[in-house]
Chain A
Amino acid sequence: MSCLHIKHLTVTFETLMGTVVAVDDVSFDHESKETLALVGETGCGKSVIASSILKLLPDNANLSGEILYGDKDLLRLSERELADIRGQEISIIFQNPTLALNPVYRIGDQISELFRVHKRASSKKSKAYATSLLGRMGFKDPEHAFHMYPSQFSEGMNQRVLIALALALHPKIIIADEPTKGLDDQLKEEILKELMKIKEEKESSLFLITHDFDAARNIADRVALMYCGQIVEIALSPDFFDEPFHPYARGLLKSLPSHDFAPIPGASPSMISPPEGCRFHPRCAERLEVCSHEMPEPIKKSGRIIRCFLYR
């Protein structure tokens, strides 16, 4: 059962430099209770997909396509309808926790707010909820943590707060945009473990955006790989890491320190005027004649979805 169908999502930004095509005809399903990892190099459009799902993009963004959640198209809901879904049914964890929290409100109040907004809970009740939530997130003295401000917490502690907030109302979908960025390895592991534990408990699905292939391998059920605004391969995690299909996926895995450490030749393409044909063709060692002037469409192949002429 899938809980989110994304169909032909395209997102462009009008900028002074020209039109940026950040997401280009992306379609995928997100199954309930699964962990789907979205990977890809920086600037390829991962965060824009995440923000599109909750319609959190700035005014200069143009969206087209459909994002179906149940029988609703999230892109066509009013702000009021969206507000009911945000934080309650679909929650998001940003990659920059200290900046995501309001510097002049106590941590506890920022958590309580969620119960007050969505559950119309009294201030006493929401305070009790918030305190118990802090306790569950591993704060030794939750009463004390309640009264702290984000600036008095470390990055890791704030990240825990964001996770607590994301899980508080048992959402159907949790979007986590690089939740472990900038944390040290031990903390990374701890945070991911915590996230997974509660996710399992609450039976939520997790849409995890990450640069960290190890994390994706360890916790994701499926992996989606993005290149230059497009999803080029979606496969079950073991399949993807054992035998990647797409030439870009193969190149990426080879460039990892645990493999050959051999970087993909060439530079990341411009998002304003991407290459004609297959976006990856200027850097592809296996390109065919057709690749430079025709764009491959995504096709199903042995349980995967792949965008490459080699698998036609």
Chain B
Amino acid sequence: MKKIARYLLALFIIISINFFIPRLMPGDPITNLMGEDYIVSQESIDALKAELGLDKPLLVQYVTYWGDVIRLDLGHSFHFHTEVSQIIASKLFWTTALVGLSILFGTLFGAILGALSGWGKNDPKNKTLTTFFLWIYCTPPFFLSLVVLYVFAFKIGIFPLRGFYETGTFTDIAKHFFLPVLVLSLSLASRNYMIMRGSIIQEKGKLYILYARAKGLLNRGILFRHAFKNASLPLITLVALDIGFIISGALFVEIVFSMNGMGTLIFDALLARDYPVLQGIFLIITIMVVVANFLADIVYGIIDPRVREQR
């Protein structure tokens, strides 16, 4: 209960910050709002101000703002000529799909391979695997994207270079998704591999592991029935804390692969100085991070009874 209150407070603060930041920014709000591709007269500026309620006292603006947020009205983009919420909604799905799939594969593969590697002896096979993941770990995702794109799309040509359309067939979309998901998954898997490996090595020495063996369990059974669950606790925390980085990594990857997602949207909005869109994206991404942390907290509680008690 306390936790839920804390998350609600976090959301409240984030949404409020999103209200104040543009108003604290230097320069004329209308210019900021419309971007620099418009030149408007003073009368239209005043008219616009009145229409947007910018001439009212701050408190009234704040209350109106909350009403807008609750109605998911994030304002109007003069650059894209549509509602910000609509633009974001159309891109959000693809980014969420990319991030979601990558977290799924990256966590699954990273955790399982890391667990096996930490559990086994440090033989050449495990050493090679660790070196490989260390190498991935040290490579920024966007650079990895460039390499992968160069090799698979440009040199070998089995995957498309660009040209992602939402309307394509399933196989078409899958083809475009494969490489970006691969890159992000690998990059995530490398982190998870390292954490899980270390975590399993730590659990390996604990008494309950020895006791499981004394009960008559075999090696793999001990690893997957006993060690894995305990060792994955730090991993869950890490993935939750990392959601912000994961999303920002995904944005770069999207740009490199010319995917139709939030990354490309941010890129375009930045070039056009489209503040309403940027603000909307900021809001959505932070909410995503908070929600992801909340989910991780719930999962953590399901796995670890000691955490559940503290609620």
Contact = CB atoms under 8 A, between A and B. Distances in A.
Interface of A: 54, 56, 79-80, 83-88, 91-92, 94, 96, 99-105, 113-114, 117-118, 149, 151-152, 165
A101 B210 contact: no
Interface stretch (B9-17, B95-103, B215-223): B215-223
How many B residues touch the partner, as a band? Answer: 20 to 34
Contact of A117 (B206, B217, B219): B217
Contacts of A96: 207
B219 A114 contact: no
A165 B212 contact: no
Contacts of B229: 102, 104-105
B230 interface: yes
A113 B226 CA distance: 11
Given A88-B216, A94-B211, A96-B207, 20 more contacts: A79-B219, A80-B218, A83-B217, A86-B213, A87-B215, A91-B214, A94-B214, A99-B206, A99-B207, A99-B208, A100-B210, A100-B211, A102-B208, A102-B212, A102-B226, A113-B225, A117-B221, A149-B305, A151-B305, A151-B309
A149 B233 CA distance: 17
5 contacts: A86-B213, A86-B216, A87-B214, A87-B216, A104-B304
A87 B210 CA distance: 12
B113 to A, nearest CB: 22
Interface string B218-250: 110100011001100100000000000000000
B305 A101 contact: no
Which of B208, B226, B229 has most A Cβ within 10 Å?
B208
A56 B208 CA distance: 12
A23 B189 CA distance: 45
Contacts of A85: 216
Contact of A102 (B214, B230, B306): B230
Nearest to B204: A58
Contacts of A86: 213-216
Lowest 5 A-B CB distances belong to which pairs?
A87-B216, A149-B305, A87-B215, A100-B211, A86-B216
Given A94-B207, A117-B221, A152-B309, A103 B215 contact: no
Which of A79, A91, A92, A104 has most B Cβ within 10 Å?
A104
Interface string B295-311: 00000000111100100
Contacts of A101: 208, 211
A104 B305 contact: yes
B111 to A, nearest CB: 15
Contacts of B304: 103-104
Interface string B130-168: 000000000000000000000000000000000000000
Given A103-B304, A151-B306, A83 B216 contact: yes
Contacts of B215: 86-87, 113-114, 117, 165
B216 A56 contact: no
B216 A118 contact: yes
Interface string B252-263: 000000000000
B84 to A, nearest CB: 44
A145 B290 CA distance: 36
Interface in B267-311: 303-306, 309
B233 to A, nearest CB: 8
A83 B218 contact: yes
A163 B218 CA distance: 21
Which of A87, A92, A165 has most B Cβ within 10 Å?
A87
B306 A149 contact: yes
Nearest to B225: A113
B306 A103 contact: yes
Nearest to B218: A83
Contacts of A83: 216-218
Contact of A104 (B207, B212, B221, B303): B303
Nearest to A80: B218
A88 B214 CA distance: 10
Contacts of A118: 216
B305 A103 contact: yes
Nearest to B303: A104
Contact of B230 (A56, A84, A103): A103
Contacts of A54: 214
B214 A92 contact: yes
Contacts of A80: 218
Nearest to B227: A102
A91 B212 CA distance: 11
Contacts of B233: 104
Nearest to A102: B208
A213 to B, nearest CB: 26
Given A99-B206, A101-B208, A102-B230, A117 B216 contact: yes
Which of A54, A85, A96, A103 has most B Cβ within 10 Å?
A103
A56 B207 contact: no
A165 B206 CA distance: 19
Contacts of A94: 207, 210-211, 214
B119 to A, nearest CB: 13
B208 A79 contact: no
A14 to B, nearest CB: 16
A309 to B, nearest CB: 39
Contacts of A113: 215, 217, 225
